């Protein structure tokens, strides 16, 4: 291996290190800018970066040139997040509610196939918390009224939308949709997927292009799994393999 | 007029008219959500577009909300001089919400008919946005107009951009020759907007090319088109230079402070901006050409919208919400982490761990969004220390109690003399129990009696205090 190749590997690994932090931006880091330039113009370097990522069970996703790269997990490798990474010590039922809220947020931000698969990565979506809360409450309550769901004593048999529908949208305390969505948004902002900005006295939550990549990845990966679950229910068989 | 020319013209114009629908909708529905009856939405949209396109040529390559608000307020206040800042903000936000298709969550889709080559009428649809939100290099939200919006705004009802530029050059020259300096300034400003439009057009074209490798023919289509755009942009250079010189010489003939001279200076500034815009465009073209060539040779194009992506509402969210908790308990541990970004694992590092544990202060870390923002933290004033006067008064009272007394008696006597809520009572309640700790230099010894304090307002073990040192 030549020293030039060695240098390429070193720089490709450095680029990956920068890309792993979604809060890092090309505009703020000359190093990132330089390495990204090489990534886009040197095919060999790009291949090296992709191979290093693959070795770490990661996948590099190219965003618009002025934004950088996004990285997603492709297996349960060392970089795969665990449930404990999000508000550890949650009881299982609480965890599920937060999981559903995260899914609702994703579908709210990108309500159509076109929005998730947006060609232009550099355009972003911004949302307001109040509108999100109202939408989530209405959606879950509509689903509940359409299915005529009756309250069941066994919590395990309760559908996801019921758990959301019973939550008050606004109010004091932690048991409201507003509180929980704010927590989720803050958490995502903490990880560089959202930005919080003020505009004319309103609080706007901006979904960064990295969030779209994660959302796309989630929807692509989960579809088959969900179909499998619902199919198993129709067949009357037990849950799919865990 | 040939049939093909006529067909091309009416088809283009039909499409452009259809694309204007969001503007008409805004005017037609202005009373539905927000009361905007006093305002003409066409005018407000025009002002807003003007502000955004002007800022697109700047460093942030888009207009921050404050710029939109500033320009819009000028017109709103003319219609309603008593309009508050809140009202201007409400109007601006309403227009932006609409023109950006729900702040980027959606798109506009219009259907229109064209006359096909066969002569039959065909129905087509077009998906687009008028405004988009982007992040500036400083991660601030800015608004940009799409190429469709710029085209509509500049009244380009079906003309070719190149032809429009040529026409604009002629207009500018005409006004300069006739001494119509104000109009010449406007024509020059139009030049600048056209250059912004050309850049937006190129950008949109590039994105399409970048994401649909399988569908583009690099050698047959892309290369000639790139060459054509470059030629067009390069040709602007001498034209703009000539216009600047012309304006300069005319401006020098006018006395300082003359309105015409001011207009000409503004016109020169607009053309210089346009020229700068073209320089940037050339740089982008060169970079794009290299990148496309590289992609072509390595087949690195990416596909855009994947047909495999399920519909977010019906194919993803609703099935997920229908699962029971028992099913979700299995599904979520697999699905949920997919949305989370990669976690950075901590590698065991004993030296660093020890350094961290023994450090006087922790390394400052990047401020978390989950922590309260410093500016939102209220300073809490600490309790005032007992003043020397309070201490002296309480000490003097304790001396009067003799060599032996109980804690309750001390508290009762202090409350009787200084009042139950006095700082002296608080001081005694803190001072006496300290003697229980038996410091060597204490002049009193306090011992528990095994009973509870009998003084009102205090709870705890009773102490008996005797004079003397522990030593």
| Nearest partner of B289 among B225, B344, B245, judged by Cα | B225
Nearest CA in chain B to A85: B343
Across A3-7, B285-289, B413-417, which has the greatest mean pLDDT? B413-417
Predicted pLDDT at B31 = 73
Residues of A in contact with B321 (CB under 8 A): 100, 103-104, 140, 143, 159-161, 164
Distance (Å) of CA B2 to CA A225, B79, B283: 58, 48, 39
Least confidently predicted of B11-25, B189-203, B323-337:
B189-203
Per residue in B73-86, pLDDT (tens digit) is 999 999 999 988 88
Which residue in the set A62, A102, A119 is minimally distant from B304, CB to CB?
A: A119
Nearest CA in chain B to A142: B318
Predicted pLDDT at B442 = 67
| B-interface mutation test, from A85, A108, A126, most B Cβ less than 10 A away | A126
Query: B168-173 long-range CB contacts below 8 Å, 24 or more apart?
Result: B168/B194, B169/B239, B169/B243, B172/B243, B172/B267, B173/B243, B173/B246
Complex ipTM: 0.85
Residues of A in contact with B129 (CB under 8 A): 123
Per residue in B93-112, pLDDT (tens digit) is 999 999 998 898 888 999 99
> Taking 70 as the threshold, does the pLDDT of residue B207 lie above it?
no
Q: What is the DSSP letter of B218?
A: I
| A-interface mutation test, from B147, B341, B368, B370, most A Cβ less than 10 A away | B341
To the nearest whole Å, the CA of B308 is away from the closest chain A CA by 7
| Nearest partner of A208 among A133, A112, A110, A130, judged by Cα | A110
To the nearest whole Å, the CA of A127 is away from the closest chain B CA by 7
Confidence of residue B349 (pLDDT cuts 50, 70, 90): confident
Predicted pLDDT at B363 = 57
CB contact under 8 A, A107 and B313: yes
Residues of A in contact with B86 (CB under 8 A): 201
Compute the distance between CA of residue B263 and CA of residue B246 in angstroms, rounded to an integer.
14
> Taking 80 as the threshold, does the pLDDT of residue B456 lie above it?
no
Weakly modelled stretches of chain A, pLDDT under 50: 241-242
Residue entry with tokens 């500034």: B269
Q: Which two tokens stand for residue A231?
A: 């199919």
CB contact under 8 A, A208 and B340: no
- The DSSP H or E segment spanning B437 is none
Residue B93 in 3-state DSSP?
helix
Predicted pLDDT at B214 = 47
Predicted pLDDT at B213 = 46
Residues of A in contact with B291 (CB under 8 A): 40-41
Give the A:B interface size as CB pairs under 8 Å.
274
Nearest CA in chain B to A20: B342
Residues 6+ apart with CB under 8 A from B339: A102, A103, A106, A214, A215, A217, A218
Residues of A in contact with B320 (CB under 8 A): 100, 103, 160, 222, 226
Based on its alpha-carbon atoms, the radius of gyration of chain B, rounded to whole angstroms, reads: 38
What residue spans define the domains of chain A? 3-73, 83-235
| B-interface mutation test, from A55, A94, A122, most B Cβ less than 10 A away | A122
Predicted pLDDT at B305 = 44
Q: Phi-psi region for residue B464, left (φ > 0), alpha (ψ -120 to 50) or beta?
A: beta
To the nearest whole Å, the CA of A11 is away from the closest chain B CA by 19
CB contact under 8 A, B134 and A230: no
CB contact under 8 A, B105 and A127: yes
To the nearest whole Å, the CA of B139 is away from the closest chain A CA by 8
Nearest CA in chain A to B212: A119
Residues of A in contact with B295 (CB under 8 A): none
Residue B445 in 3-state DSSP?
strand
Predicted pLDDT at A153 = 62
Query: B364-368 long-range CB contacts below 8 Å, 24 or more apart?
Result: B366/A23, B368/A190
With contact defined as beta carbons under 8 Å apart, do B394 and B431 qualify? yes
Confidence of residue B158 (pLDDT cuts 50, 70, 90): very low
With contact defined as beta carbons under 8 Å apart, do A194 and A212 qualify? no
Q: What is the DSSP letter of B343?
A: P
With contact defined as beta carbons under 8 Å apart, do B209 and B295 qualify? no
> Taking 60 as the threshold, does the pLDDT of residue B169 lie above it?
yes
Compute the distance between CA of residue B392 and CA of residue B235 in angstroms, rounded to an integer.
92
| A-interface mutation test, from B85, B327, B348, B368, most A Cβ less than 10 A away | B327
Predicted pLDDT at B206 = 63
Which residue in the set B290, B304, B336 is minimally distant from A99, CB to CB?
A: B336
Which residue in the set B325, B342, B370 is minimally distant from A156, CB to CB?
A: B325
CB contact under 8 A, B327 and A219: no
Which residue in the set B92, B290, B337 is minimally distant from A81, CB to CB?
A: B337
| Nearest partner of B311 among A231, A210, A64, A227, judged by Cα | A227
Which H, E and C letters describe chain A, residue by residue? CCHHHHHHHHHHHHHHHHHHCCCCCHHHCHHHHHHHHHHHHCHHHHHHHHHHHHHCCEEEEECCCCCCEEEEECCCCCCCCCHHHCCCCCCHHHHHHHHHHHHHHHHHHCCCHHHHCCCCCCEEEEECHHHHHHHHHHHHHHHHHHHCCCCCCCHHHCEHHHHHHCCECCCCCCCEHHHHHHHHHHHHHHCCCEEEEEECCEEEEEECHHHHHHHHHHHHHHHHHHHHHHHHHHHCCCCCCC
């Amino acid at each position: 291996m030549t020293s030039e190749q060695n240098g390429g590997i070193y720089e490709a690994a450095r680029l990956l290190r920068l890309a792993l932090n979604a809060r890092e931006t090309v505009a703020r880091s000359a190093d990132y800018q330089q390495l990204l330039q090489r990534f886009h113009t040197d095919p060999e370097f790009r291949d090296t970066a992709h191979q290093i990522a693959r070795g770490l069970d990661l996948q590099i996703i190219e965003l618009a040139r002025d934004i950088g790269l996004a990285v997603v997990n492709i297996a349960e490798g060392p970089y795969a997040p665990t449930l404990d990474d999000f508000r550890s010590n949650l009881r299982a039922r609480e965890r599920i509610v937060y999981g559903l809220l995260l899914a609702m947020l994703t579908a709210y931000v990108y309500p159509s196939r076109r929005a998730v698969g947006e060609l232009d990565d550099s355009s972003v979506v911004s949302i307001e918390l109040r509108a999100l809360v109202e939408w989530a409450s209405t959606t879950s309550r509509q689903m509940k009224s359409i299915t005529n769901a009756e309250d069941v004593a066994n919590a395990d048999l309760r559908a996801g939308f019921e758990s959301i529908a019973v939550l008050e949208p606004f109010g004091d305390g932690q048991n409201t949709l507003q509180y929980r969505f704010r927590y989720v948004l803050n958490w995502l902002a903490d990880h560089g997927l959202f930005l919080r900005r003020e505009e004319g006295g309103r609080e706007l939550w901006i979904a960064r292009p990295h969030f779209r990549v994660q959302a796309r990845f989630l929807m692509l990966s989960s579809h088959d799994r969900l179909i499998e679950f619902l199919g198993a229910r129709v067949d009357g068989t037990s849950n799919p393999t865990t | 007029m040939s049939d093909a020319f006529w067909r091309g013209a009416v088809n283009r114009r039909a499409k452009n008219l259809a694309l204007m629908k969001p503007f008409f909708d805004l005017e037609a529905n202005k009373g539905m959500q927000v009361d905007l009856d006093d305002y003409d939405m066409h005018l407000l949209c025009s002002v807003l577009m003007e502000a955004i396109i002007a800022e697109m040529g700047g460093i942030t390559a888009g207009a921050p909300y404050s710029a939109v608000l500033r320009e819009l307020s000028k017109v709103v206040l003319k219609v309603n001089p008593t309009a508050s800042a809140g009202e201007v903000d409400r109007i601006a936000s309403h227009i932006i919400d609409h023109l950006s298709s729900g702040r980027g969550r959606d798109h506009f889709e219009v259907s229109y008919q064209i006359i096909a080559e066969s002569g039959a009428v065909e129905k087509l649809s077009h998906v687009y946005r008028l405004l988009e939100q982007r992040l500036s290099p400083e991660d601030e939200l800015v608004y940009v107009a799409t190429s469709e919006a710029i085209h509509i705004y500049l009244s380009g009802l079906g003309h070719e951009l190149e032809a429009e530029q040529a026409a604009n050059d002629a207009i500018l020259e005409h006004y300069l020759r006739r001494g119509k300096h104000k109009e010449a300034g406007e024509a020059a400003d139009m030049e600048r907007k056209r250059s912004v439009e050309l850049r937006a057009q190129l950008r949109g074209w590039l994105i399409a090319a970048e994401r649909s490798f399988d569908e583009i023919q690099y050698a047959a289509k892309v290369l000639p088109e790139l060459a054509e755009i470059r030629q067009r942009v390069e040709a602007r250079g001498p034209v703009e230079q000539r216009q600047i010189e012309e304006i300069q010489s005319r401006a020098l003939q006018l006395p300082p402070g003359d309105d015409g001279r001011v207009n000409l200076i503004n016109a020169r500034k607009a053309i210089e901006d346009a020229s700068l815009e073209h320089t940037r465009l050339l740089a982008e073209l060169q970079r794009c050409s290299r990148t496309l060539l590289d992609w072509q040779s390595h087949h690195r194009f990416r596909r855009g919208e994947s047909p495999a992506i399920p519909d977010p509402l019906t194919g993803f969210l609703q099935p997920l919400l229908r699962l029971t908790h028992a099913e979700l308990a299995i599904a979520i541990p697999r699905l949920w982490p997919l949305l989370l970004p990669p976690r950075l694992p901590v590698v065991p590092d004993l030296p660093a761990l020890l350094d961290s544990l023994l450090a006087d202060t922790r390394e400052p870390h990047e401020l978390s969004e989950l922590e309260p923002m410093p500016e939102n933290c209220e300073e809490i004033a600490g309790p005032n220390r007992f003043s020397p006067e309070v201490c002296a008064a309480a000490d003097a009272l304790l001396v009067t109690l003799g060599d032996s007394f109980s804690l309750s008696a001390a508290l009762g006597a202090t409350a009787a003399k200084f009042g139950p809520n006095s700082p002296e009572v608080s001081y005694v309640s803190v001072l006496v129990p300290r003697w229980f700790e038996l410091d060597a230099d204490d002049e009193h010894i306090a011992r528990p009696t095994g009973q509870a304090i009998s003084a009102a307002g205090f709870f705890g073990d009773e102490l008996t205090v005797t004079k003397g040192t522990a030593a």
